[in-house]
Structure 1
């Protein structure tokens, strides 16, 4: 079974940027879009009206079997537990492989629509969508299909898959001073190759077997998580932020409490103000660099 067509929210005027956001487990693209745009910033505007030149792309995963609940769920991969995402990690690989390839295709298409300007495209997701988008960010370095960094990464109430193994890799790099070499490029390469080989193994990803260009991992990252999140513990978000920072990736981390959905959502309006501040800062920085 293939993936459904993404839900698209078109820009209100000239298309200058694109955001690709992945839904959480049990949701879908249209539902995620409706929930996201029903929330507003302190200026009483939602994200779409605040950024009228931006195109919003909400992919939908296909239904897949969930081993824990013994039923089919709309999910990017089979997660056995959200409180202990390390449990039965082997179940995640097949879904991540399919989903990452699908999101890379969408990334390529959106960059093409913007005349090849990867820095005008943002990637991210909510909960399991964030986890899948992070895997995509690491794996795309080995695809050889996208050059340069994205405008930014937006992650909400999520985690980094296979985080304990990634922690080991980063620790080894620190012990051998690899982290200090080439601005951390060697560490990024090691982590990227781990994700590429773990998720794809012997499966082909555009015939690229080793990571040579890690420039996309210079993409600035925004992460936020509720301290009272009842579904994905905030410690998992903190751990993801810490590992990315130790991998020399620029991360802005935000915590909050009192969000809707038992804390498993973005705090309104503060969280939406933070998102807008982040993307506007990256947009302005890219405009300055291009002048």
Structure 2
């Protein structure tokens, strides 16, 4: 991949209260900013009355901010990881998504590599995730990370989001089944990961199959409001299904009654789920 040309604001970082043992990299939704997302997320609490930073006091919390982009649908500049024409049909005008996804993935990969290096190369000590469009960009980054990330991440947390280019991914899965169904020499996750690079016009990945399998063995937790009025629950369920089709381990939790038209993490239930999941997957 070539270097990203978009201008991304400085990272918002909440340092650990003690020795740095883990890092969480979390992406905001369309129209948001890293500092605002950090404030909203880290002031929400679990049923124990504790925020995430209190549950994980030795973690470093990194909140990137998206570049400002022109929205074709809204005819305005706004912070966005990529442009999207309509959430009613995320496959419509997919050409608008390519440049932003490419630039944002490269930016988040730079952040991811830096945080892994701070932890001595222990990729399993780093989690990646996001809310809404931030989940979409973070998920795409994860799927395209083999070749730059050598091992699995500790976990992926996605909230109220979706998976871009679902039709392309479904086609890639079907092509794999027709070409390699009777063979074991070409792992499905390797085929899909290489295909996604091609969607963005990136060169083929230069990584070993076992490295791709390691990255895509990252455990995934998806949270989504059944009553989400911005990103329909059907899109979250579709993302869950496709990730499982690729061969990833995915746990999905649905809830009702969250703020912002259901487009947020239910408090405290959703935060309880996040804490329980992270403690079960990360040492």
Q: What's the TM-score, normalizing by structure 2? A: 0.93
Q: What CA distance in whole angstroms lies between the structure 2 residues aligned with 1:190 and 1:179?
A: 15
Measured in 2, the distance between the counterparts of 1:175 and 1:198 equals 20
Contact kept? 2:155, 2:282, Cα under 8 Å: no
Residue 289 of structure 1 is matched in structure 2 by none
Match of 2:163 among 149, 160, 172: 160
Is the aligned partner of 1:227 residue 2:226?
yes
Q: Does 1:282 align with 2:253?
A: no
Asked if structure 1 preserves the Cα contact closer than 8 Å seen for 2:194 and 2:205, the reply is no
Structure 1's 92 and 33: CA in aligned 2 closer, same or farther, altered over 3 A? same
Aligned to 1:10: 15
Three-state SS of the structure 1 residue aligned to 2:78 is: strand
Q: Over the residues paired in the alignment, what is the CA RMSD in angstroms?
A: 1.7
Q: What SS is found at the alignment partner of 1:237?
A: helix
Taking the aligned partners of 2:76 and 2:35, their CA distance within structure 1 comes to 22
Aligned equivalents of 2:77, 2:156: Cα separation in 1: 29
For structure 2, the residue ranges without an aligned partner over 5 or more in a row are: 1-5
Partner of 1:249: 248
| Distance in 2, Cα, partners of 1:177 & 1:98 | 32
Relative to total residues, which structure has the larger helix share, 1 or 2? 1
- Alpha-carbon distance in 1 for matches of 2:159, 2:184: 31
Q: Work out whether residues 197 and 205 of structure 2, in 8 Å CA contact, stay in contact via their aligned partners in 1.
A: no
Shift in Å at residue 179 of structure 1? Answer: 8.8
Deviation at 1:175, TM superposition (A): 4.6
Gaps of 5+ in 1: 285-291
- The aligned residue for residue 19 of structure 1 is 24
Match among 89, 114, 117 for residue 112 of structure 1: 117
Distance 1:173 1:179, change over 3 A: farther
Please state if 1:38 is matched with 2:39.
no
Aligned to 1:287: none
* In the alignment, structure 1 residue 129 sits paired with structure 2 residue 130: no
Q: CA deviation at 1:210?
A: 7.1
Partner SS, residue 187 of structure 2: helix
Correspondence for 2:153? 150
* Alpha-carbon distance change, 167 to 208 in structure 1, aligned in 2, over 3 angstroms: closer
What is aligned with 1:65? 70
3-state SS of 1:218 partner: coil
Determine the C-alpha separation between the residues in 1 that align with 2:246 and 2:84.
25
TM-score, structure 1 normalization: 0.91
CA distance in structure 2 between the aligned counterparts of 1:178 and 1:131, rounded to whole angstroms: 29
**Is contact 1:192-1:211 (8 Å) kept?**
no
SS across alignment from 1:258: coil
Residue 263 to residue 180, structure 1, CA distance change in 2 (3 Å)? farther
